Chains A and B, each alone.
Chain A
Amino acid sequence: MTKLTFSRRRFLGTAAAGTAALASPAYLRSAHAAGGEVNIWTYNDFVPEAFKKQFEAETGIKVNVRLVDDQGKQFNLLAAEAPNPTVDIMTVAGHRFLQFIDNDLLAPLDTDRLSNWGKINPTFSESDWSTINGHKWGAPILSGMEVLAYNTELVSPEEVKSWDVLFSEKYKGQTAYILQDMMSIIMLKMGYDGNMVAYLDDPAKAEAIVEEAKQYLIDKKPLVRKYYDGGAEVQQMFVNQDIALGHSWNGPAAALINDGFPLAMTIPQEGSYGFVYTYNIANNAPNADNAYTFLNAILASPEIGAAMTKASGFISTYKDASNYLTDLEKKSTSFTDEEMSTLKFFRAEANEMKYGFVDPAVEAIKAA
């Protein structure tokens, strides 16, 4: 999971409702007029426009958003600016924390300064990946997962019980996936630990597993229509009917479902991986106080979490955010217990070893 680009249509469609929902000023009453600015690097639609306007009006703090579409780019940008970054808040996926922490790019999060910390669902705020070296490093805002999305007019729910359908002759030339992400899923499908944490002490085994997954994807290469990179691409392919099914992040798929496109998504029986986006404060952030004011404000209300979900399609980490979603939005952002039972979260511990093997494998598959 490296890139995100989302449809703006969904946001535009829900902007009015979002504005109404966010009109309540209560969540910002505690913030005193501070002035100045706060610089944020984040994905499209992760800062609801209505919230931003209200926050600026009530605090006098100007919110400067720089859109990013890739965790790696964010890391490189920040590394280039360190130790005196221009950014205050970034959006790091939970499983990429370690890389940023190891390079002194993130400041530990002082949750005592966030009176609204308790409004995050503890499943996300207190889970094992969120605490590293005894510190919290980010405020979880949205959760996503790798799903199998399919056009309901072309593919039946019975066919998508397994990831195997993505590699079937029946749908030759009608599938698409992100190679890097698919490597983890294939390893999981083969019964291995796609996070490679289990093989930290046995790099030879890890290498052999990656080789096996690579060979599998090379063998199946004639069946795939497209290796894509961003959420907007898979949306476009579904809309143009270039593909009938494909691997996707749940966000872009949910946005299409909410737009009324005949699409559904599932977590196949072999399982899949989930990830959590967090807002983080940069080490030596130039406007750290304003950053905390912003974080506390954006965590204040489940309506804001719901607005983020409506715009991005990802699942809110806020308690009770689903109360502010329509039935269709709830449906597009929820999964059955059976599906959720097979979901694992991406982990960072073995990333260096894992991607040391996976990156060349991805290049080899593309070149094959």
Chain B
Amino acid sequence: MSDDLAQRTHTGQKRKEKTDLTFWGRLSNWGPYHLMMGAVTASPRRQFVVLAIFPLVWVLFQNLGPMLQMLRVSLTDAYPVAPGVEQHFTLENYTRFFGDQIFWQPFFRTLVFSAVFTFCTLIITYPVAYFLARHVSRRNQMLFLLLLLIPFWVGEIVRTYAIMILLGNTGAVNQLLKWLGFIDRPIPFMYTSFSMGVGIVYLTALYMLLPLYSALEKLPKSFNEAAADLGASAWTRFRRVTLPLTLEGISSGCTLVFLISTGFYATPVLLGGPSTTVFAETIAGFFHVAGDEWPTGAAFATIMFAAALILTGTFQKFMNALRKGDTK
């Protein structure tokens, strides 16, 4: 009788424990779940496969999928395929680029502009990142970063229009110069490589600033103090200690900004002028023009993509070599 009571009490306690468990607790005690997790985590190899599935699916469908589709379109002679038209594979869209010099100028102009604007962004943002990482207290750094992030709360087009308002003939800059008595007539800033450059630097600055800030923030202050103790001047400390040890941040920032700059479309269209046509505008033209021009646009986009990747790959290698050379 007492055994029976003890067993009932024990069963009752177990049931109570079970009902006290949360959903996740109950799930982890559920037999099929146990079985499945056991099978999945039976070996490190299985664990790796399970963990890799989601990122792989994401990269494949979200990142690589559209690129591969674009590559496929670039190798066809018709897209979208109209009724009654048979689609064939061809390399003609690629030979069109290499066979016609009129496409080379916007192509190389884009690469040169992107390189120059990347360099300008680096020169402008490095002191900002340096100040932020080295001279702003950690408590205020987040506030400072938040201030820098504010323009990014709105989209690219709105920020581009902000530049137009700033640089237009009746814009703030011309009004100020006029008020100060420096000019009688407005300076035509807009629709030039200058206005386009200002726009692109403004739009990409944060992509440069964050890697630089990260690199500078990780750099121990004691390194510079040691160099100072050994008699190095401020310039020497920067040249021999800070700069080499932030090359990784420079490399990441430049790569990001360069790649983004090669693909800008709306900003050059809105801020650029007749002599600043970039390759993205040429590519967009093929997609806007009705008919079978999508494959050509896709081929040109692929060419630019490959060129940008080759250039950034070369740049990364150069930076790696530089870094290794300096740290040896």
* A→B interface (CB under 8 Å): 2-3, 70-73, 75-76, 79-80, 82-83, 96, 99, 103-104, 173, 221, 224-227, 229, 233, 236, 240-242, 355, 359-360, 362-364, 366-368
Contacts and interface: CB of A to CB of B under 8 A. Distances in A.
Nearest to A355: B289
A240 B106 contact: no
B171 interface: yes
Interface string B167-188: 0111100000000000000101
B38 interface: no
A366 B274 contact: yes
Contacts of A225: 188, 191, 273-274
B117 interface: no
Contacts of A364: 102
Interface in B91-113: 100, 102-106
Contact of B294 (A76, A83, A241): A76
23 contacts: A71-B290, A72-B288, A73-B287, A75-B290, A76-B80, A76-B287, A79-B81, A82-B80, A96-B290, A103-B83, A173-B188, A225-B273, A225-B274, A233-B270, A241-B170, A242-B168, A242-B188, A355-B289, A362-B285, A363-B282, A364-B102, A366-B274, A367-B105
A297 to B, nearest CB: 29
Contacts of B288: 2-3, 70, 72-73
Interface string B282-308: 100101111101100000000000000
B288 to A, nearest CB: 5
B290 A240 contact: no
Interface residues of B, number: 36
Nearest to A173: B188
Contacts of A359: 285, 289, 293
Contacts of B270: 233
A363 B103 contact: yes
Nearest to A99: B290
B100 A226 contact: no
B82 interface: yes
Interface in B260-288: 269-270, 273-275, 277, 281-282, 285, 287-288
Contacts of A3: 288
A73 B285 CA distance: 11
Judged by DSSP, the binding face of B is loop
A363 B285 contact: yes
Interface string B146-179: 0000000000000000001000111100000000
A367 B164 contact: no
B206 interface: no
B190 to A, nearest CB: 6
Contacts of A71: 290
B171 to A, nearest CB: 7
A183 to B, nearest CB: 13
Contacts of A173: 188
Nearest to B188: A173
A318 B315 CA distance: 62
Contacts of B287: 72-73, 76
A79 B82 contact: yes
A80 B282 CA distance: 22
Contacts of A2: 288-289
A366 B281 contact: yes
Query: Across chains A and B, which 4 residue pairs bring their CB atoms closest together, nearest first?
Result: A75-B290, A72-B290, A240-B168, A366-B277
A368 B293 CA distance: 22
Nearest to B277: A366
A305 B105 CA distance: 46
A112 B81 CA distance: 33
B7 to A, nearest CB: 67
A225 B171 CA distance: 17
B164 to A, nearest CB: 7
Contacts of A80: 80
A99 B289 CA distance: 12
Nearest to A227: B274
A233 B157 CA distance: 13
Contacts of A363: 102-103, 282, 285
A103 B277 contact: no
Nearest to A225: B191
A181 to B, nearest CB: 14
A217 B137 CA distance: 58
